[in-house]
């Protein structure tokens, strides 16, 4: 199989590496040409300098997999590719895009006879060696074109990937996946914070995390990662208490509202991320002033030193 990849960030570059190792011939383009040339020298993939050259270098029906940031960059790149592709070519969109955008894009491309697959990709920096979890949406015909590459990218030819349903379903399932991830991370964080706060027990958090990895019902890859960094540093004094959100947690919470399906854990985990970013600072100041107003309680800055 020969396919194109547009976008060689940490995820895209490692996917290109895994595909080349697995016998898939990759033609790659990146906005920074130096990145493409370096990866070509390392892996033997074909580097091109433009999207037009990327399309020209592929056999029909072409398969072009986008691994670009979600939003405007992906939208602009699809618009750029649209006149370059022929009917029955396939565009795979692998960013963390909103599933409704993927449904819209699929309908737009269908008008030109171009096939579309939305690919939710999970695996991070570990995917190169361990494989990527792949959640894919699109028609059967579209999926069949990219299936050989999916089997190489996944942890195993038969495992770690799923053709979820029609266009949009891959990114929808990935969105819910990330919402669950938010909730799991928040639960671990709160639990370890409670144990750290019990100073009189002098608990070894690294040892506890390592013990839980074996036989406990709360074992997971997230716990594996937690055990590793707690073994090295339990105080985390050099880590800023700010947690970013990619947007998928927001979409999951909005989906819960739209469907009227309760999802309090995922929604509250998202709110905690906002709080870590300073979004709750003003409301906390208001609370402090209200408490001062009705009870005469001192504000934090008024506390005696």
Domain boundary among 165, 198, 226: 165
Q: According to the model, what pLDDT value does residue 304 have? A: 46
- Full-model pTM: 0.91
Give CA 81 to chain center in angstroms. Answer: 24
Assess whether 289 carries a catalytic annotation.
Answer: no
Would you state the pLDDT for residue 78?
97
- Quote the domain boundaries for residue 28: 2-165
Name the H helices within 154-278: 169-197, 205-212, 221-232, 248-259, 264-276
The H or E element containing residue 127 is: helix 127-130
In a domain, 303, yes or no: no
User: Is residue 255 one of the residues assigned to a domain?
Assistant: yes
| Total structural domains within the chain | 2
> Could you say which of 174, 196, 210, 237 is catalytic?
174
CATH of the domain at 130: 3.40.50.720
In this structure, the answer to whether residues 180 and 144 fall within a common structural domain is no
Tokens read off for 207 = 């040892």
Residue from 46, 61, 83 nearest 143 by CA: 61
Residues 151 and 269 in one domain: no
Residues 7, 150 share a domain: yes
Residues 146, 24 share a domain: yes
| CA–CA dist 122, 125 (Å, integer) | 10
Both 161 and 179 in one domain: the answer is no
**Residue 118 and residue 180 in one domain:** no
Do residues 106 and 30 share a domain? Answer: yes
Q: What is the pLDDT along the chain (305 residues), one digit of tens a residue?
A: 999 999 999 999 999 999 999 999 999 999 999 999 999 999 999 999 999 999 999 999 999 999 999 999 999 999 999 999 999 999 999 999 999 999 999 999 999 999 999 999 999 889 999 999 999 999 999 999 999 999 999 999 999 999 999 999 999 999 999 999 999 999 999 999 999 999 999 999 999 999 999 999 999 999 999 999 999 999 999 899 989 888 899 999 999 999 999 999 999 999 999 999 998 898 989 899 888 899 888 888 655 44
Output the six-digit token pair for 57: 């270098």
In a domain, 288, yes or no: no
- Are residues 92 and 50 part of one domain? yes
Query: Residue 261's domain is classified under what CATH number?
Result: 1.10.1040.10
The pLDDT value given to residue 17: 97
Catalytic residue among 38, 75, 147, 181: 181
Tokens (6 digits) for 85: 């592709």
Q: Are residues 217 and 180 in the same domain?
A: yes
Per-position b or e across 112-121, b if 16+ CB within 10 A of its CB: eebbbbbbbb
| Cβ atoms < 10 Å from Cβ of 4 | 25
In a domain, 195, yes or no: yes
Do residue 250 and residue 268 come from a single domain?
yes
Q: How far apart are CA 232 and CA 229, in angstroms?
A: 5
Query: What is the Cα gyration radius of the chain?
Result: 23
**Cβ neighbours of residue 100 closer than 8 Å, sequence gap 6 or more:** 168
End residue of a domain, out of 128, 147, 165: 165
Q: Say yes or no: 14 and 100 in one domain.
A: yes
Q: Which residues contact 145 (CB under 8 A, 6 or more apart)?
A: 61, 63, 90, 115
- 174 catalytically annotated: yes
- Residues 37 and 121 reside in one and the same domain: yes
């Amino acid at each position: 199989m020969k396919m194109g990849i547009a976008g060689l960030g940490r995820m895209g570059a490692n996917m290109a590496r895994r595909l080349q190792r697995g016998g898939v011939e990759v033609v790659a383009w990146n906005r920074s040409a130096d990145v493409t040339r370096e990866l070509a020298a390392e892996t033997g993939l074909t580097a091109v300098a433009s999207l037009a050259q990327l399309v020209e270098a592929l056999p029909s029906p072409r398969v072009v997999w986008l691994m670009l940031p979600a939003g405007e960059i992906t939208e602009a790149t699809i618009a750029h590719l649209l006149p370059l592709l022929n009917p029955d070519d396939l565009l795979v969109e692998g960013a963390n895009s909103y599933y409704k955008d993927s449904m819209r894009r699929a309908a737009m491309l269908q008008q030109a006879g171009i096939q579309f697959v939305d690919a939710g990709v999970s695996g991070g920096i570990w995917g190169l060696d361990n494989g990527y979890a792949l959640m894919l949406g699109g028609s059967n015909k579209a999926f069949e074109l990219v299936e050989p590459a999916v089997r190489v990218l996944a942890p195993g030819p038969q495992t770690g990937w799923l053709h979820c349903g029609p266009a949009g379903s891959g990114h929808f399932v990935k969105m819910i996946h990330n919402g669950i991830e938010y909730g799991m991370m928040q639960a671990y964080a709160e639990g370890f914070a409670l144990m750290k706060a019990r100073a009189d027990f002098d608990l070894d958090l690294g040892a506890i995390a390592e013990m839980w990895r074996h036989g406990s019902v709360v074992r997971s890859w997230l716990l594996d990662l937690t055990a590793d960094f707690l073994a090295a540093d339990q105080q985390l004094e050099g880590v800023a208490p700010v947690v970013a959100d990619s947007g998928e947690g927001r979409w999951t919470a909005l989906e819960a509202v739209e469907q009227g399906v309760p999802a309090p854990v995922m929604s509250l985990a998202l709110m905690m991320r906002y709080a870590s970013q300073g979004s709750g600072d003003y409301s906390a100041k208001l609370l402090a002033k209200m408490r001062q107003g009705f009870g005469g309680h001192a504000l934090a800055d008024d506390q005696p030193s």
